């Protein structure tokens, strides 16, 4: 029987994950089936149970199920424990469910691909929701000189930073306590979904700085436009999407796909 994988979300019809994983499978010669499944909002655990009963071996998990997926795991990677969320499920031979989160390592790999040096860099991360919590462990593991988390609700940024303080030089506060310049500014808020821009000081970027938006689209996001006007190089989150998928694929199949051609294909289709 062909090994089955899927992405769970709700809604899920616009997910690019089936296209990405099907391309990875063709490239690596793996025979898998990968589909998108809209899990019921009130029964994620049931959806995973049914999927595995029908031959499912693993899954990606997206909004709004990442925390529920975390809850049902028997074992978790260290980074998933830190994130409090999983985007990758794997059914072990013993029937146990293992959970990992590959978003943060996906972000770090995409930054590496763009030759952004994290070690010793001054980092600013905008936002303090689930998306940001999911990437802090791998960012801190890359040993930046400092990482400031800024959020509209300052208390959330302070609390988040204190959860990760044992891992590195991280602090948090409101947008009004941002004090640059920074070598890398990562937008992890959902503000750009609404076409909004967090209130940011004009002197945010050091020379040669990179602005990274975890969102992507056919056009540069409001944040990347703003950053470009202030001399920063802009990178959107499409590469992070492909890199997190590649890490999930590796967890499941033990093979590392070449992400560049898949990213190119997706970019053309935006």
Does residue 129 touch ligand ATR according to CB under 6 A? yes
Q: Which of 138, 198, 220, 239 binds ligand ATR (CB under 6 A)?
A: 198
Q: Say whether 88 counts as a known binding-site residue.
A: no
Place of tokens 């260290």: 78
Tell me how many residues contact ligand ATR (CB under 6 A).
Answer: 16
Among 96, 117, 153, 177, binds ligand ATR (CB under 6 A): 153
Stretch that binds ligand ATR, among 93-101, 194-202, 222-230, 238-246 (CB under 6 A): 194-202
- Residue 177 within binding range of ligand ATR, rule CB under 6 A: no
Q: What is the rounded distance in angstroms from the CA atom of residue 77 to the CA atom of residue 80?
A: 5
Residue 9 assigned as binding residue: no
The minimum distance between CB 190 and ligand ATR, in angstroms, equals: 4
Residues near 96 by beta carbon (within 8 Å), at least 6 away in sequence: 74, 75
Q: Look up 143 and say whether it is catalytic.
A: no
Catalytic residue among 21, 66, 133, 253: 66
Q: Which span sits near ligand ATR by CB under 6 A: 29-37, 114-122, 161-169, 191-199?
A: 191-199
> Is 17 one of the annotated binding-site residues?
yes
C-alpha span between 256 and 105 (Å, rounded): 14
Residues with Cβ within 8 Å of 93's Cβ and at least 6 positions away in sequence, in order, are none
Interaction between residue 156 and ligand ATR (CB under 6 A): yes
The nearest distance, CB 3 to ligand ATR, in angstroms, is 29
Q: How far is the CB of 159 from ligand ATR (least distance, A)?
A: 11
CB 54 within 8 A of CB 91: no
**Peptide bond just before 64 cis, omega within 30 deg:** yes
**Residue 139 in contact with ligand ATR, rule: CB under 6 A:** no
The owner of tokens 């694929």 is: 249
Is residue 222 part of the contact set for ligand ATR (CB under 6 A)? no
| Residues near 43 by beta carbon (within 8 Å), at least 6 away in sequence | none
96-115: contacts with ligand ATR (CB under 6 A): none
Cα separation, 79 vs 173, whole angstroms: 23
Nearest approach, Cβ of residue 35 and ligand ATR (Å): 24
Q: φ, ψ for residue 177 (rounded to 5)?
A: -105, 15
Separation between Cα atoms, residue 102 and residue 76, nearest integer Å: 12
87 near ligand ATR (CB under 6 A): no
**Residue 127, annotated ligand binder?**
yes
Query: Quick check: helix, strand or coil at residue 69?
Result: helix
DSSP calls for 253-269: HS----HHHHHHHHHHH
**Which residues does the annotation place in the binding site for NADP(+)?**
127-131, 151-156, 214, 237
Residues that bind ligand ATR in the complex, under the rule CB under 6 A:
127-132, 151-153, 156, 189-191, 194, 196, 198
- Catalytic site residues? 66
């Amino acid at each position: 029987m062909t090994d089955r994988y899927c992405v769970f979300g709700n809604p899920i019809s616009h997910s690019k994950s089936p296209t990405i994983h099907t391309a990875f499978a063709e490239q690596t010669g793996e025979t898998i089936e990968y589909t998108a499944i809209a899990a019921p909002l009130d029964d994620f655990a049931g959806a995973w149970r049914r999927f595995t009963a029908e031959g499912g071996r693993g899954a990606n998990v997206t909004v709004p199920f990442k925390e529920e997926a975390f809850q049902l795991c028997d074992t978790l990677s260290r980074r998933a424990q830190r994130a409090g969320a999983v985007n990758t499920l794997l059914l072990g031979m013993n029937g146990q469910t293992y959970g990992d989160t590959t978003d943060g390592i996906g972000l770090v790999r995409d930054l590496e691909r763009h030759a952004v040096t994290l070690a010793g860099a001054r980092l600013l991360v905008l936002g303090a929701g689930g998306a940001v919590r999911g990437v802090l462990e791998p960012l801190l593991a890359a040993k930046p000189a400092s990482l400031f988390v800024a959020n509209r609700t300052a208390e959330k940024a302070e609390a988040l930073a204190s959860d990760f303080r044992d891992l590195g030089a991280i602090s948090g506060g409101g947008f009004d306590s941002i004090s640059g310049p920074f070598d890398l500014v990562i937008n992890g808020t959902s503000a750009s979904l609404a076409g909004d821009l967090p209130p940011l000081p004009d002197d945010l970027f050091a020379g040669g700085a990179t602005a990274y938006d975890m969102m992507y689209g056919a056009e540069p996001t409001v944040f990347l436009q703003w950053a470009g006007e202030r001399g920063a190089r802009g990178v959107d989150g499409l590469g992070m999407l492909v890199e997190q998928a590649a890490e999930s694929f590796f967890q499941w199949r033990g093979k590392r796909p070449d992400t560049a051609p898949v990213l190119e294909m997706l970019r053309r289709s935006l």
